[in-house]
C-alpha cells in the first residue's frame, strides 16, 4: 500500500481521503515510512517532524481544504513553521539550535489547504547557489543517480519528491531555485508571477524570490496554486487573479500560440543535449498546431550587462541576510559562521554603495519593461532549456576555502535561462520532457507574460499529455 500511494500525485491522494478510502493518518504514516527507508540515500529531509505530523493528521481541527491529509514538506529556507528548526542551510543557526517562533504566511496557507507538514528539506546556505551541498547538512543526492546533484536551492524538496517520499513539496525561486531542481530531478516546477504568493511576514513580494512547489503533475502544480495563492495584510505586490481557477486550465483547449524559441544561452555555452531538449519540444509544439520561430526579447542579448546588474542585488542580499541571521541568534556573524562562498558574496555585497544598488534596481525595472514589450508585440510564450548544463556531479559546485568563488561561478550556467525572469517577475515553468543519454533528467522552460500562469499551465498540460513524464519515475522511487 505504501508503494501504491507513492505513485499517486497530491490530487489523487486527496481524493482518496475525501472518498473515505484512506485516512489522513494512513497517508502520513506511508510517507514517513518512505522517508525513513530512502532518506539516508538522498539526504532530502533534514528536520523530521513525524510526531507533529501524526498529531495533525488525527486532529479534529485538521482543515477540510482541497489537500486534506496529504503529506507535505517545507524547504528549510524562508517558509517558517512555528516551533520547528529553521537553519537556512547555515551552521551557525544549526549550532544555535534555532527554532522559529511563527508560521510564515505561506505555511498558514498550506495548513489551510489541509496539507500535513512532515518535515523540512535541505537547502544550500541562504539559497545562494544552484547546488544543494551545504556544509551544515551535507549534499542532497539525485534519485536518478546519486553521484549527481539535485540543483538548488530547492534541491532537498526536489530529491524528496523525485524519490517518492511525498507527492509535492514547498520550493522557492530567487534565480531559478524551483525550476533548476525540477529540471534536474524530473519534476514540474512553476515559478509564479511576482506577488502571486505572499512572502510575509519575513520577506517582501517586491524582491527576486517567490515560492511554490515541485511536483510530478501539472494538475498538482495548478491545484496547489489555487489553494495557496492568497494575499495577506501588508503584502507589497498582489498579482491579479484570472477569472477561473488554474486547475481549470489543465485539459482545456489550447488555441494556436506564437512561441519564440531560445535554444542557446546568449551568456555562454549550452550543452548539446539541453539544446536538443528545447528543439524537440519546439517540434512537438509545431505538431500540435502552434507557430514556433527562433526569436526572443532583444534584452536577453545583453546577457553580460544584465548579469552585471543582477549581481549587486544578489550579493547585497547575501550581506543583508547575514545581518538578519545575526539578529536571530543574538550576535554578529563572522567568516567562521558561514561557508567561504557566502562570506565572499556578503563581502562583495558590502562593497556596493547605496547608489549602486539603486542603479541596479533601476536597470532591472528598465529590463522588465523591455521584456514585457516582446510579449505585448504578439508573442505568447518563450521556450528555452531550463538549464544550460545537465546535473553536475556531487562536489563540482561545492564551496571550498581554496576557491570560494567556485559555487557562485559554477552556478551561472544553471541560472542563465532562469534568473532574468526573477528580475522581471514573470511566471516560468520547467517541464521534465527528456533525459540525457546517461539517463539524467533535463527540463525545458516556458515563460509567459506577467500574471499569465493560466496560459503556461494550459500549454504545459497539453505537452504533458504527449510526453507523459509522470509514468516513469526515478530508480529510487517506489
With a pLDDT cut of 90, the percent of the chain lying above it is 93
Work out the angle at residue 283's Cα, subtended by the Cα atoms of residues 279 and 288, and round it to the nearest 5 degrees: 145
Residue 81 has pLDDT above 80, yes or no: yes
pTM value is: 0.97
With a pLDDT cut of 70, the percent of the chain lying above it is 100
Cβ distance 373 to 433 under 8 Å?
no
| Domain-wise residue ranges, the chain | 2-471
For residue 46, the tally of other CB atoms under 10 A from its CB is 22
pLDDT at position 108: 98
Mean pLDDT along residues 195-222: 96
Residue 303 has pLDDT above 80, yes or no: no
Mean pLDDT along residues 267-281: 95
Quote the DSSP letter at residue 242. P
CA–CA distance, 323 with 112 (Å, rounded to integer): 32
Q: Is the dihedral of CA 387, 317, 196, 237 positive or negative?
A: negative
Q: Which of 193-197, 330-334, 394-398, 460-464 has the lowest mean pLDDT?
A: 394-398
Instruction: Dump pLDDT digits (tens) for 442-466.
Output: 999 999 999 999 999 999 999 999 9
Work out the angle at residue 380's Cα, subtended by the Cα atoms of residues 277 and 214, and round it to the nearest 5 degrees: 55
pLDDT at position 302: 87
Indicate the pLDDT class of residue 66, thresholds 50, 70 and 90: very high
pLDDT at position 71: 98
Instruction: Dump pLDDT digits (tens) for 336-360.
Output: 999 999 999 999 999 999 999 999 9
Indicate the pLDDT class of residue 307, thresholds 50, 70 and 90: confident
Instruction: Dump pLDDT digits (tens) for 85-94.
Output: 999 999 999 9
Catalytic residues: 75, 153, 177
pLDDT at position 152: 96
pLDDT at position 400: 86
Give the CATH superfamily of 2-471.
Amidase signature (AS) domain (3.90.1300.10)
> What are the grid coordinates assigned to 258, written together?
506564437
Indicate the pLDDT class of residue 267, thresholds 50, 70 and 90: confident
Q: What is the mean pLDDT of the chain?
A: 96
CA–CA distance, 374 with 456 (Å, rounded to integer): 16
Indicate the pLDDT class of residue 2, thresholds 50, 70 and 90: confident
Instruction: Dump pLDDT digits (tens) for 135-171.
Output: 999 999 999 999 999 999 999 999 999 999 999 999 9
Quote the DSSP letter at residue 234. T
Sequential DSSP letters for 39-85: HHHH--EEEE-HHHHHHHHH-TT----TTTT-EEEEESSS---TTSB
Q: How far is residue 417 from each of residues 86, 130, 316, 422, 468, measured CA to CA in Å?
A: 30, 13, 22, 10, 24
Indicate the pLDDT class of residue 362, thresholds 50, 70 and 90: very high
Residues linked to residue 117 through DSSP beta bridges, in sequence order = 72
Instruction: Dump pLDDT digits (tens) for 215-241.
Output: 999 999 999 999 999 999 999 999 999
pLDDT at position 399: 81
Question: For the chain, what's the residue count?
Answer: 478
For residue 102, the tally of other CB atoms under 10 A from its CB is 13
Q: Which has more pLDDT, 161 or 398?
A: 161
Amino acid at each position: 500500500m505504501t508503494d501504491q500511494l507513492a505513485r499517486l500525485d497530491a490530487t489523487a491522494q486527496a481524493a482518496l481521503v475525501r472518498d473515505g478510502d484512506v485516512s489522513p493518518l494512513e497517508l502520513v504514516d506511508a510517507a514517513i515510512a518512505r522517508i525513513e527507508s530512502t532518506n539516508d540515500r538522498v539526504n532530502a529531509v533534514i528536520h523530521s517532524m513525524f510526531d507533529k505530523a501524526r498529531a495533525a493528521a488525527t486532529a479534529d481541527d485538521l482543515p477540510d481544504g482541497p489537500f486534506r491529509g496529504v503529506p507535505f514538506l517545507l524547504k528549510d529556507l524562508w517558509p517558517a513553521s512555528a516551533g520547528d528548526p529553521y537553519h537556512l542551510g547555515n551552521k551557525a543557526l544549526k549550532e544555535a539550535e534555532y527554532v522559529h517562533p511563527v508560521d510564515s504566511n505561506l505555511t498558514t496557507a498550506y495548513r489551510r489547504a489541509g496539507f500535513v507538514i512532515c518535515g523540512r528539506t535541505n537547502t544550500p546556505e541562504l539559497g545562494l547557489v544552484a547546488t544543494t551541498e551545504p556544509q551544515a547538512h551535507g549534499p542532497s543526492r539525485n534519485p536518478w543517480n546519486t553521484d549527481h546533484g539535485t540543483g538548488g536551492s530547492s534541491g532537498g524538496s526536489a530529491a524528496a519528491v523525485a524519490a517518492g517520499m511525498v507527492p509535492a513539496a514547498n520550493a522557492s525561486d530567487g534565480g531559478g531555485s524551483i525550476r533548476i531542481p525540477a529540471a534536474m530531478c524530473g519534476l514540474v516546477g512553476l515559478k509564479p508571477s511576482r506577488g502571486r504568493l505572499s512572502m510575509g511576514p519575513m520577506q517582501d513580494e517586491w524582491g527576486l524570490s517567490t515560492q511554490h512547489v515541485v511536483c510530478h503533475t501539472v494538475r498538482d502544480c495548478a491545484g496547489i496554486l489555487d489553494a495557496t495563492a492568497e494575499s495577506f495584510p501588508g503584502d507589497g505586490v498582489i498579482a491579479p487573479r484570472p477569472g477561473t481557477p488554474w486547475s481549470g486550465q489543465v485539459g482545456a483547449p489550447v488555441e494556436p500560440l506564437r512561441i519564440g524559441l531560445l535554444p542557446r544561452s546568449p551568456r555562454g555555452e549550452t550543452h548539446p543535449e539541453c539544446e536538443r531538449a528545447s528543439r524537440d519540444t519546439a517540434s512537438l509544439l509545431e505538431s500540435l498546431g502552434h507557430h514556433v520561430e527562433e526569436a526572443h526579447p532583444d534584452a536577453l542579448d545583453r546577457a553580460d550587462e544584465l548579469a552585471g546588474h543582477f549581481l549587486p542585488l544578489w550579493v547585497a542580499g547575501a550581506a543583508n541576510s547575514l545581518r538578519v541571521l545575526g539578529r536571530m541568534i543574538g550576535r554578529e556573524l563572522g567568516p567562521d559562521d558561514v561557508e567561504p562562498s557566502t562570506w565572499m558574496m556578503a563581502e562583495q555585497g558590502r562593497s556596493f554603495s547605496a547608489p549602486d544598488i539603486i542603479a541596479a534596481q533601476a536597470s532591472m525595472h528598465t529590463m522588465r519593461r523591455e521584456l514585457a514589450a516582446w510579449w505585448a508585440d504578439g508573442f505568447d510564450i518563450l521556450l528555452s532549456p531550463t538549464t544550460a548544463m545537465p546535473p553536475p556531479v556531487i562536489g563540482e559546485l561545492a564551496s571550498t576555502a581554496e576557491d570560494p568563488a567556485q559555487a557562485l561561478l559554477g552556478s551561472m550556467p544553471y541560472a542563465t535561462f532562469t534568473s532574468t525572469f526573477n528580475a522581471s517577475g514573470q511566471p516560468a515553468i520547467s517541464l521534465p520532457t527528456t533525459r540525457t543519454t546517461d539517463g539524467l533528467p533535463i527540463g525545458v522552460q516556458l515563460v509567459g507574460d506577467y500574471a499569465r500562469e493560466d496560459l503556461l499551465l494550459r500549454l504545459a498540460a497539453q505537452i504533458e499529455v504527449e510526453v507523459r513524464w509522470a509514468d516513469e519515475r526515478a530508480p529510487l522511487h517506489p
